[in-house]
Amino acid sequence: MEYTLRDTPQHNRLAELAFATIGNKGREMLVHANVPMKYCFHLYREAFKTATDLDGLVMVTVNGKRAT
């Protein structure tokens, strides 16, 4: 049994799901880009950074125009 403090990520289910989702997106970027395994280790930081940046994009409508 492990005790954790209140308001930590262990008690925030949505934050934990977001971490897993961003991690999966970063790995999928490398897979779909057909990056050889010997280069994946060097590029994973950029892939995860890009996944994090793209995760915050939301479509909004301003003055009848949709954009991110």
Measured between alpha carbons, how far is residue 18 from residues 1, 45, 62 in Å?
25, 17, 27
* Contact (Cβ atoms closer than 8 angstroms) between residue 24 and residue 35: no
Greater confidence, 54 or 2? 54
* Contact (Cβ atoms closer than 8 angstroms) between residue 13 and residue 4: no
Rounded Cα distance between 7 and 35, Å, is 38
pTM of this structure = 0.65
| In the chain, domain spans | 9-67
Rounded Cα distance between 16 and 4, Å, is 15
Q: What is the pLDDT of residues 1-30, one digit of tens each?
A: 667 677 666 667 777 888 899 999 999 999
Residue 46 above 80 pLDDT? Answer: yes
Length of the chain equals 68
